[in-house]
Amino acid sequence: MRFQDIIMALDRFWADRGCTIVPPHDTEVGAGTFYPTTFFGALGEKPWRVAGIAPSRRPADGRYGDNPYRFQYFYQYQVVIKPSPVDIQETYLQSLYHLGIDPGAHDIRFVEDNWESPTLGAWGLGWEVWMDGMEITQFTYFQQVAGIDCRPVSVELTYGLERLAMYLQGAKHAFDVEVSEGVTMGDLRRDFERQHCTYNFDQADTDLQRLLFDKFEAEATRLLALELVHPAYEFALRCSHAFNLLDARGVLSHTERQGYVQRVRRMTEAAAAAYLAGSAADAAQAA
């Protein structure tokens, strides 16, 4: 199965199970969990079902394309459902079957893995799913987001698309994965990856990123005062990316790191609180 067929198959599968397929968000994020559709979707009581491909960036994880598994830019496939369905594990296994992976022909395991994001004030319990020893999916029941208890609880599935595709195609390197006929992932991303690694590790102007962080933070704070929750949250995401770049450049001391993490967290928590206050006001108006 080619890479684009995997994405389309997952879209079809989850759409058939009541999920809205949302296109990728256009602000840099470290993982699909940062997507507004995940972050805000997990808050509050309103039922929520979304799925879709979630390109993500983690500057420090880049290896100039040399390592077959590690990249600073990669694709996740993200599913968020609230409340978590009782048969979600079975449904997930069916989605693998849908991709041509017969769980009866493999050794599939749900191995404890608990997840935490200090910048989002979020944590959850769940598993990493192993197929024949390889981690292919992260499976999390959110317990808190932005420091707020999740009631009801959302479940988040994050498929590692490159790994799944490598497995299905027997490829040794993510860049060998065939995306469409005659076009490989390397064709699309090799130069992109190498140049961004050079930028992330060697060239990123750290003074600029520090300045941007401060400015973005001020903007997020200003927008929150105007109850412009969504723009404010996007500026928090931009701060998060600036922080990730500074981290990749290795210029942050341990204490400084903690400081930046706390500052992002304050923004995301404020955005979550404002979002919930807004939804409560909407609900009151509707009533």
Partner 1 sequence: MATLLFEIGTEELPSWFVQQGSDALADLLVTRLAGASVEHGALRSYATPRRLAIVVEDVAERSLRRQVTRRGPPESAAFDASGAPTRAALGFARSSGVDPTDLVVDDLGKGRYVYATVEVGGEPTVTLLSALLAGVVQDLPAPRKMRWAEVETLFVRPIAWLVALLDDVVVPVEVAGVHAGRATRGHRFLHAGAIELPHADAYEGALRGASVIADRAERRAAVVEAARGVAAGEGLELVSDAELEDEVCDLLETPVAVLGAFGERFLDLPDDVLGTVMIHHQRFFPTRGADGRLAPRFVALSNNRVPDGGVVRRGYEQVLRGRLDDARFFWDADRSESLSRHAWGLSGIAFQKELGSMGDKVARISTSARQLADVLGVSEDEAATLKAALRVFRADLSTKMVHELPELEGTMGRAYALAEGQPSEVAVALEDGVLPRAHGGRLPSTRVGAILSVADRLDTLVGFFAIGRRPSGSADPYGLRRAGVGAVRTVAAQGWRVPFRKLIDAAASGFDGSVDVADDVLSDVEAFAWDRVSALLAEERVPTPVIRAAVHGSRSVIGAARRAHLLRALMTRDGWVDLMTLYKRAANLGRQAPDGASVRSALFRDAAEAPLFEALPDARRGVERLMAGVRKQLVPWDLGKAPNRELGGLDEAVAEVLRLKAPLDAFLDSVHVMVDAEEVRVNRLALLAAVANVLRDLGALEHLEAGEA
Structure tokens at 80: 């968020």
Give whichever of 83 and 186 is closer to partner 1, judged by the CB atom: 83
Give whichever of 125 and 188 is closer to partner 1, judged by the CB atom: 125
Give CA–CA dist 222/272, Å, rounded: 15
- Single out the residue of 9, 15, 60, 125 in contact with partner 1 (rule: CB under 8 A): 125
Give CA–CA dist 131/128, Å, rounded: 10
- Least spacing, CB of residue 92 vs partner 1, in Å: 11
Give whichever of 152 and 186 is closer to partner 1, judged by the CB atom: 152
131 part of the interface to partner 1, by CB under 8 A: yes
Structure tokens at 256: 């400084």
Tokens 């939804």 -> residue: 279
285 part of the interface to partner 1, by CB under 8 A: no
Contact mark string toward partner 1, 205..244, x via CB under 8 A = ----------------------------------------
- Least spacing, CB of residue 197 vs partner 1, in Å: 16
Structure tokens at 177: 């994965």
Give CA–CA dist 122/145, Å, rounded: 4
**Residue count at the site for partner 1 (CB under 8 A)?**
35
Q: Are 248 and 61 in contact (CB under 8 A)?
A: no
Tokens 């400015």 -> residue: 215
Q: For residue 153, count other CB atoms closer than 10 A to its CB.
A: 17
Give whichever of 66 and 214 is closer to partner 1, judged by the CB atom: 66
- Least spacing, CB of residue 166 vs partner 1, in Å: 9
Residue 248: closest CA among 262, 263, 260: 260
Name the packing angle between helices 254-286 and 206-225 (round to 10°).
Answer: 30
Question: Which 93-122 residues touch partner 1, going by CB under 8 A?
Answer: 103-112
- Single out the residue of 1, 9, 60, 134 in contact with partner 1 (rule: CB under 8 A): 134
- Single out the residue of 23, 86, 202, 286 in contact with partner 1 (rule: CB under 8 A): 86
- Single out the residue of 83, 147, 186, 231 in contact with partner 1 (rule: CB under 8 A): 83
Residue 151: enclosing H or E segment and its boundaries? none
Residue 188: closest CA among 162, 211, 151: 162
- Least spacing, CB of residue 248 vs partner 1, in Å: 14
Q: Are 112 and 141 in contact (CB under 8 A)?
A: no
* Residue 103, strand partner residues: none
Give me the half-sphere count of Cα atoms (radius 13 Å) on the Cβ side of residue 232. Answer: 24
84 part of the interface to partner 1, by CB under 8 A: yes
Q: Which stretch binds partner 1 (CB under 8 A): 34-42, 148-156, 220-228, 271-279?
A: 148-156
- Work out the widest C-alpha separation in the chain, in whole angstroms: 57
- State which amino acid sits at residue 44: G
23 part of the interface to partner 1, by CB under 8 A: no
- Single out the residue of 23, 254, 285, 287 in contact with partner 1 (rule: CB under 8 A): 254
Q: Tell me which residues touch partner 1 (CB under 8 A).
A: 67-69, 83-86, 89, 103-112, 125, 127, 131-134, 141, 143, 150-153, 155, 167, 253-255
